[in-house]
Copies of this chain bind each other. A is one copy, B any other.
Amino acid sequence: MLIVLNYAGVVVFAATGALAASRKQLDLIGFLFFAAITGVGGGTLRDLILGQVPVFWVREPAYIVVCVVTAIVVFFTAHLIEWRYRLLIWLDAVGLAAYSVMGAALGLAASGSPTIAMVTGTLTATCGGVLRDLLAEEPSVLLRPEIYISAALAGAGAFTAAEAAGLPSYASSAAGFGVALALRGGAIQYGWTIPRYRSRPGRNADDALKKR
């Protein structure tokens, strides 16, 4: 289950990296570079922080091959797609959900601490996209008005809570994945937000979520 999630995360994030390269009109090697950076970036940071080195794609080079194939497919098909940015955003949502569970699972296994599991889940899920936007000089997903980091945190939190409740691993993974994807999907489709900082915030995050 975790291996499936990891490959799913790599493929969809690699595709978003390649789509960013297509928006910048780079060459094929540029597509490969952005696909690889985005596909394995979050997981690389996670492995470094947890001290699991060499990082996962050095131990298992198939992940790199997956990024290369994804980049090539996108290079030769992206021009067929009218709604490229929308596709990028939705693939990013799937990758975010997959990686929030993966990151939390590995963080929990390595540290035993639910706090750390939620941090590594959130970091793994968001850092690939952050890196992609930073290097492609695109507006950062971090600063978008709708729910993004929150979805990753909620997914990691749901997984960690389900594990603590003794659910089997596939159920916890499905719970985390579902929560993250539902929140981020709602944010994309319906513009869900939680209250942002203003001079007088006055309300709290839970109220606003219920009101929608």
Chain A residues with a Cβ under 8 A of chain B: 21-22, 24-33, 36, 44, 48-51, 53-55, 57-58, 61, 64-65, 75-76, 78-79, 107, 110-111, 113, 115-116, 119, 122, 126, 130, 134-137, 140, 142-143, 147, 149-150, 153, 193-201, 205
Contact = CB atoms under 8 A, between A and B. Distances in A.
Contacts of A130: 135
Contact of A150 (B29, B135, B198, B201): B29
What number of copies of this chain does the assembly contain? Answer: 3
A175 B111 CA distance: 36
Main secondary structure of the interface of A (DSSP, over half): helix
B116 A64 contact: yes
Contacts of A58: 49-51, 107, 110-111, 113, 116
